[in-house]
Amino acid sequence: MTAVQISGAGMTFNPGSDNAVRALDDIDLTIGHGEFVSLIGPSGCGKSTLLRLVGDLITPTTGSIEVFGKSAEQARLDRDYGMAFQQAGLFDWRKVAANIELPLELIGWSRSDRSARSKEMLELVKLDDFGDHYPWQLSGGMQQRVAIARSLAFSPRLLLMDEPFGALDEMTREHMQSELLRIHAKTATTVVFVTHSISEAAYLSNRVVVLSPRPGQIHSIIDVDLGERSDAIRETPAFFAKTTEVREALRAVEASA
């Protein structure tokens, strides 16, 4: 079944004016239920823009986007999305647990359900003892983990993540990657994931979408089939072959740009 259907989508910022920017052009992409798709490409090629289009934070200037068989807007209103960005974007005046509970509060969960869930989420991101802290009492990487916990809190059907692990150190990053895969395997969540890291894209994804810039277009799509992922996979020839494939696609993009 299809989770996301992007048909001929294009995005031009400030159309018609002198500083018009053609960020994306004629994007066609179909993402299946439960699929994990990464977007990778040079800086400024439109990865974030594409993610924001899917999330109905902005509206495409051409083409259409369907999510779970309805318009992106309807999917947003149905609260199908969980989002996490490079900037943690936590609210200073809310304690860590209350930050995670914010979306649950908006949906109308009871207080006890909320606190049970935020506890569970904090365990997941290994911050069990920090629920009562304020975000500014945490390191940047810890804040990022809270933001990820928040995006997962209400078990959204579609996770949109924009370089969520960018601020993390290598070890935490690999741990979070494994956790994300575990959640992904356990739930039926579909994930669209923007990253700059070739190995991250190869490790996490079922498919890696390589974008080329100006205007942003799909350069190539690389299928990855590593089967059951574990840390050991990172050292196998199959994994190495995939990272090489992604790297070469990126080189081709850079060369043509």
Ligand X SMILES: Nc1ncnc2c1ncn2[C@@H]1O[C@H](COP(=O)(O)OP(=O)(O)OP(=O)(O)O)[C@@H](O)[C@H]1O
* Interface contacts to other proteins, rule CB under 8 A: 55, 57, 76-79, 81-83, 85, 87, 89, 91-93, 102-103, 105-107, 134, 136
**Residues 33, 144: Cα–Cα separation, whole Å:** 26
- Enumerate binding residues for Mg ion (CB under 5 A): 48
- Answer yes or no whether residue 23 interacts with ligand X by CB under 6 A: yes
Q: Which does 109 bind (CB under 5 to 8 A by kind): ligand X, Mg ion, other proteins, none?
A: none
Q: Which does 92 bind (CB under 5 to 8 A by kind): ligand X, Mg ion, other proteins, none?
A: other proteins
Write the DSSP symbol of residue 226: -
Q: Which does 21 bind (CB under 5 to 8 A by kind): Mg ion, other proteins, ligand X, none?
A: ligand X
Considering only CA atoms, which of 145, 134, 138, 148 is closest in space to residue 95? 134
Q: What pairs with residue 210 in β-bridges?
A: 40, 220
Q: Which stretch binds ligand X (CB under 6 A): 46-54, 61-69, 141-149, 202-210?
A: 46-54
Specify the residue for token string 């996979």.
Answer: 233
Contact 109, 120 (CB under 8 A): no
Structure-block tokens of residue 171: 């070890």
Q: Which does 44 bind (CB under 5 to 8 A by kind): other proteins, Mg ion, ligand X, none?
A: ligand X
Structure-block tokens of residue 235: 């050292």
Element (H, E) at 254: helix 237-256
Determine the longest span between alpha carbons in the chain, in angstroms.
55
**Residues 172, 174: Cα–Cα separation, whole Å:** 5
* CA 211 to mean position of chain CA atoms: 15
Nearer to other proteins, 95 or 184 (CB): 95
CB 215 → ligand X: shortest distance, Å?
Answer: 9
- Answer yes or no whether residue 122 interacts with ligand X by CB under 6 A: no
- Answer yes or no whether residue 45 interacts with ligand X by CB under 6 A: yes
Q: Which does 60 bind (CB under 5 to 8 A by kind): Mg ion, ligand X, other proteins, none?
A: none
Q: Which does 81 bind (CB under 5 to 8 A by kind): other proteins, ligand X, Mg ion, none?
A: other proteins
Nearer to other proteins, 92 or 170 (CB): 92
Is residue 181 classed as helix, strand or coil in its secondary structure?
helix
Considering only CA atoms, which of 222, 217, 216, 256 is closest in space to residue 241? 222
The size of the interface with ligand X (CB under 6 A), counted in residues, is 11
Nearer to ligand X, 72 or 121 (CB): 72
Specify the residue for token string 């199959």.
Answer: 238
Is residue 215 reached through a cis peptide bond, with omega within 30 degrees of 0 on the bond before it?
yes
CB 236 → ligand X: shortest distance, Å?
Answer: 28
Q: Which stretch binds ligand X (CB under 6 A): 45-53, 75-83, 135-143, 152-160?
A: 45-53
- Answer yes or no whether residue 17 interacts with ligand X by CB under 6 A: no
Contact 222, 210 (CB under 8 A): yes
Rule CB under 6 A: which residues touch ligand X?
13-14, 21, 23, 43-49
